C-alpha cells in the first residue's frame, strides 16, 4: 500500500475471496446444478476464475464454456434454481473463513460499523456468513438481488453508506477484485485490495492501489484511517 487511506467512518467488505474462501462450495453448487441438467462439470481452478459476478453470470460462463452460450432462458432458470438449492443446503461445508478474519472483524466491530457488499444474492450471502460464524459481527448484508445492483454498479455501496449513516467518501470498500475497485470508484468510496483473494493476482502490478497482504495489515490500515477521521481537541 503506497499511502494512507483517507479518513473513514465505516467499512464494507466483499464476501467471496475476501472474508471466505468459498470457491469449493461454489464449485460444488454449480456442478450439482450442471449434473442435474446432464451437463459436463468443471474443476475448482476453472470455477475459481469465474467467481465474483454472482451466480447468474457464473452459470452463463459455464454454459459458454460448454458451447451453450445461447441456451434458452428456461435452462438458465432451472440451473439457477438447482444452484441455489445446493448452495443453501451446504453454504460453507467445503470452504473456510480466511485465517485472521474473525479476529479482524471482532477488533473492528466496536470501532466501526461493518457491512458486507457482495454480488451474491442476499439470502445466499447471509447463509454463508451464518455458516462461517461471521454474521453476528456485521451490521448489514447487501447482496445483488437484481442484475442492476451487481458491482461494479455503485448502488449497493450507496445503500450501505446510507444504512450505516456515513457519506460514501467515508465508507471503505475492502475487496479482492477489479469489480470491487470499480464499484468503489463509481460510488466515491476509498478502496483496499486484499492480497489473498481470487482476483488480487491479476492486479499485482497496480502500484497505485491501497493493497494489504494480511488481515493484521488490513486492521492497522483501517484503524489508522478511522483515527484520522476523529476530531481532535485542544486544551486552552
**Radius of gyration (Cα) for the chain, nearest Å?**
18
Task: Please give the pLDDT value at position 193.
Answer: 93
Residues 78 and 167 placed together within one structural domain of the fold: no
Catalytic-labelled residue, pool 14, 21, 25, 176? 14
Are residues 198 and 155 both part of a single domain? Answer: yes
- Is the domain of 112 the same as that of 36? no
Boundary-marking domain end, from 63, 89, 115? 89
Number of domain units in the chain: 2
Same domain, 110 and 224: yes
Decide: 193 and 18 in contact? Cβ < 8 Å: no
pLDDT computed for residue 37 by the predictor: 96
pLDDT averaged per 10 residues, the chain (length 236): 80 98 98 97 96 96 92 92 98 97 97 98 98 98 97 98 98 95 96 88 67 95 85 41
- Of the three residues 89, 104, 137, the one that is the final residue of a domain is 89
In a domain, 79, yes or no: yes
Looking at residue 103, what DSSP letter applies? H
Answer yes or no: is 187 within a domain: yes
Q: Is 14 a catalytic residue?
A: yes
Same-domain status, 203 and 129: yes
Give the H/E segment covering residue 76: helix 73-89
Q: Are residues 119 and 180 in the same domain?
A: yes
Hey, which residues does 25 pair with through a beta bridge? none
Is the same domain home to 15 and 127? Answer: yes
CATH number for the domain spanning 15: value is 3.40.50.1000
Identify the pLDDT of residue 233: 39
The CATH number of the domain where 65 resides is what?
A: 1.10.150.240
pLDDT reported for residue 208: 61
Q: Where are the beta strands (DSSP E) in the chain?
A: 10-13, 20-21, 96-97, 114-118, 140-143, 171-175, 191-194, 211-212
> pLDDT at position 201, please?
64
* CA max distance for the chain: 77
pLDDT of residue 70: 83
- Asked if the bond preceding 152 is cis, omega within 30° of 0, the reply is yes
User: Is 36 within the bounds of a domain?
Assistant: yes
Q: Out of 72, 89, 106, pick the residue that ends a domain.
A: 89
Question: Would you say 117 and 16 are in contact if contact means Cβ atoms under 8 Å apart?
Answer: no
Rounded CA-CA distance 57/27 in Å is 14
HEC assignment per residue over 182-236: HHHHHHCCCEEEECCCCCHHHHCCCCCCCEECCHHHHHHHHHHHHHHHCCCCCCC
- In angstroms, the Cα distances linking 174 to 7, 66, 83, 121 are 15, 33, 27, 18
Domain range for 189 = 10-21+95-229
- Among residues 52, 55, 56, which one has the least CA distance to residue 182? 52
Cβ count near 117 (within 10 Å): 32
109 and 73 share a domain? Answer: no
Residue 31 CA to residue 141 CA, distance in Å, equals: 26
Amino acid at each position: 500500500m503506497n499511502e494512507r487511506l483517507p479518513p473513514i467512518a465505516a467499512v464494507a467488505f466483499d464476501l467471496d475471496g475476501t472474508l471466505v474462501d468459498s470457491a469449493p462450495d461454489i464449485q460444488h453448487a454449480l456442478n450439482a446444478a450442471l449434473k442435474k441438467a446432464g451437463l459436463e462439470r468443471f474443476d475448482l481452478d476453472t470455477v475459481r476464475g469465474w467467481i465474483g459476478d454472482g451466480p447468474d453470470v457464473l452459470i452463463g460462463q459455464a454454459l459458454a464454456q460448454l458451447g451453450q452460450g445461447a441456451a434458452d432462458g428456461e435452462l438458465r432458470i432451472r440451473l439457477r434454481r438447482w444452484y441455489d438449492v445446493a448452495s443453501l443446503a451446504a453454504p460453507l461445508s467445503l470452504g473456510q473463513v480466511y485465517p485472521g478474519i474473525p479476529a479482524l472483524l471482532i477488533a473492528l466491530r466496536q470501532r466501526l460499523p461493518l457491512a458486507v457488499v457482495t454480488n451474491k444474492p442476499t439470502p445466499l450471502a447471509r447463509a454463508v456468513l451464518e455458516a462461517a460464524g461471521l454474521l453476528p459481527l456485521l451490521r448489514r448484508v447487501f447482496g445483488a438481488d437484481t442484475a442492476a445492483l451487481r458491482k461494479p454498479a455503485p448502488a449497493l455501496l450507496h445503500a450501505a453508506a446510507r444504512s450505516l449513516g456515513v457519506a460514501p467518501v467515508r465508507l471503505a470498500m475492502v475487496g479482492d477484485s477489479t469489480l470491487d475497485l470499480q464499484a468503489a470508484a463509481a460510488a466515491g468510496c476509498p478502496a483496499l485490495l486484499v492480497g489473498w483473494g481470487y482476483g488480487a493476482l491479476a492486479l499485482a502490478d497496480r502500484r497505485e492501489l491501497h493493497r494489504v497482504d494480511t488481515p493484521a495489515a488490513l486492521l492497522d490500515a483501517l484503524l489508522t484511517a478511522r483515527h484520522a477521521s476523529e476530531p481532535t481537541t485542544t486544551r486552552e
